[in-house]
Structure 1
Amino acid sequence: MSSWEIVLSTTHLWPPSYCISFPQLQLQLQLPTSSRIRCSASSTSELTPDKPPASIAFSVTGGAYDFSKATTSLTNQLISSPKKVTLLRHGLSTWNSESRIQGSSDLSVLTEVGEEQAERCKKALENIYFDQCFASPISRAKQTAEIIWQGREKPLVYIDSLKEISLYHLEGMRNVDAKIIYPKEYTIWREDPANFLMNGRYPVRDLWKAARDCWREMLLSPGESFLVVTHKSILRALTCTALGLGPERFRCIDINNGGICVFNFNVRGEAMLEALNMTAHMYSDHVYPG
């Protein structure tokens, strides 16, 4: 049986009781072990079973108010105040569309579609106040951040630790070519990334260190609400380090172009994941509440 992927977008999910009242909506799926569930958006609804949703602008209820010791502190010291950090992946780039390995190369830039995606992200986040925007200085992320941040007063802050993973001589190669020319390295990169060795370095392990350094720098910065615009691999590392997961879990998370993740931090620097890979704004005019 072929692999399956289920995308759950809770912005659009109706309450279970509503689905029960419509037998034609009931589906029984038998999924193989290779199936994967990817979550998008994070809203909930208080709709009654006999009242279908008229809008995707649902109110959010039931959030956790205390997550002490849920994760290990990323700062090992108290921070000035609780913080909310919104992570966002750059829009579609030229090398994304060509299925080339990007890494830390600065030769890949946003496509026209990528620019449109960045505009959608800007619209989706327009009601949210951010004290600062941190971004990777690599072109595709920098372009995305500049579009989203246009019209805001404070300057963008570029952080080198938000740069994408370094993949050395694989960068710029099409995935199909890298698999043929460097079969051993490419296989380890895809199947055992934590032990992927190149040029005497372990790039994924280096990325984990960069993510921890980046978290510390951001969380010790003044302000309570931050936007972070960067790349998929470092976003994976940021998410995993916040949740206490090691580099062997590198591929347990996927984040789309323009996908948004949200973390809350208490004053001890402990994290709680609020949203993972929200993409409702990429397919609709959805605007997230401030």
Structure 2
Amino acid sequence: MAAADRLELVVVRHGLTRWNREHRYQGHRDIPLLLPDAEADLDRLREALADVAFDAVHCSDLTRCRQTLAHVLEGRAREGELASPRFDARLRELAFGDYEGQTWAALKDDPDYRAWVDSQGRLATPGGESADDLWARLSAWLEEVQAEAQAAGHRRVLAVSHGGAIRELRRRLENADFWGGVVGQAQGRCFTFTCEEDGWSCSSSSAVPAPASATS
């Protein structure tokens, strides 16, 4: 198979959880989807990706992402369309440490919390990670995806991850604002990479699912 010089990487956020609804930091806590409330958004995502063929599938190892992936790919396994998903802890959310399970309302007067918010991720959360820590594991994963694409001829790859992880990808690949790069539940981005002599670069990105005005 010819080496790929162009790769579409679709990275989507898991569906709604109870902690999302309660505005609690989840981080590495293994919180399941809030069903059936999450299903409407998951259905829209599945419909948006229904006709998209993927050469490889990656997923955070946490339950909410596994459930999201199962919903999105329902029926495809029976048709033999996909290789087995790869569950990877490097795709997890930022580890919020002591803030996991807490809400903004409970933390807003804590000076350490205010310092973390004001740092836009440069500081690590107490007992958790900084944005650089998150990027270190995401970039290692991304390099492997790109290397495999070039070796195996992959053209399109799906990954199910978390809001903070997608925000960091957008910050690094799109130069998005730290707080402005957030996507909603069961939404994400399609990053298009091209491979030149000096390696891979992100040439464009777009919303997944596409906004209604873009599909009408």
Q: Check whether the contact 2:96–2:129 (CA below 8 A) recurs between aligned residues.
A: no
1:97-246 matches, cutoff 5 A: 97-152=21-76, 153=80, 154-180=83-109, 183-199=110-126, 202-221=129-148, 222=152, 223-243=154-174, 245=175
Report the CA distance between 1:108 and its aligned residue: 4.4
Contact 1:115–1:144, Cα closer than 8 Å, also in 2 = no
**What TM-score does the superposition give when structure 1 sets the normalisation length?**
0.63
Q: Secondary structure at the match of 2:204?
A: strand
The structure, 1 or 2, with the larger RCO (C-alpha pairs under 8 Å, 6+ apart) is 2
The whole-number CA distance in structure 2 between the counterparts of 1:170 and 1:227 is 30
Q: Does 1:254 align with 2:160?
A: no
Between the aligned partners of 2:127 and 2:20, the Cα distance in structure 1 is: 27
AA of the residue aligned to 1:219? Q
| Distance (whole Å) between structure 1 residues aligned to residue 127 and residue 184 of structure 2 | 30
Q: Secondary structure at the match of 2:179?
A: helix
Runs of 4+ in structure 1 off by over 4 angstroms are 199-202
1:211–1:241: 8 Å Cα contact kept in structure 2? Answer: no
- Unpaired runs of at least 5, structure 1: 1-78
Indicate the structure (1 or 2) with the bigger Cα radius of gyration. Answer: 1
Q: 1:179, CA displacement in angstroms?
A: 2.2
Q: What is the deviation of 1:112?
A: 1.9
Q: In structure 1, how many angstroms separate the alpha carbons of the residues matched to 2:170 and 2:123?
A: 20
Q: Shift of the alpha carbon at 1:278?
A: 4.2
Question: C-alpha offsets along residues 16-58 of structure 1, whole Å, 9 cap, x if unaligned?
Answer: xxxxxxxxxxxxxxxxxxxxxxxxxxxxxxxxxxxxxxxxxxx
Matching residue's letter, 2:84: P
- The match for 1:53 is none
Report the CA distance between 1:219 and its aligned residue. 1.2
- CA deviation digits over 1:259-280, x for unaligned, max 9? 2311111123111223036453
SS of 2:37's equivalent?
helix
Aligned counterparts of 2:35 and 2:123: Cα–Cα separation in 1: 30
In structure 2, the CA distance between the partners of 1:231 and 1:176, relative to structure 1 (3 Å rule), is same
- Segments of 5+ residues of structure 2 without an aligned counterpart are none
Q: TM-score, normalised by structure 2?
A: 0.82
Q: Residue by residue, what CA displacement relative to the aligned partner does 1:116-154 show, whole Å, maximum 9, x if unpaired?
A: 311221111111111111111111111101111222232
* Matches of 2:141 and 2:170, distance apart in 1: 12
Q: 1:28-107, aligned counterparts within 5 Å?
A: 80-107=4-31
* Alignment match, 1:62: none
Does the C-alpha gap of structure 1 residues 143 and 206 become closer, same or farther in structure 2, counting only changes over 3 Å? same
TM-align CA RMSD: 2.4
Structure 1 residues 75-103: Cα deviation after superposition (integer angstroms, max 9, x where no partner): xxxx7431111111111111001111111
Indicate if the aligned counterparts of 2:166 and 2:181 stay in contact, CA closer than 8 A.
no
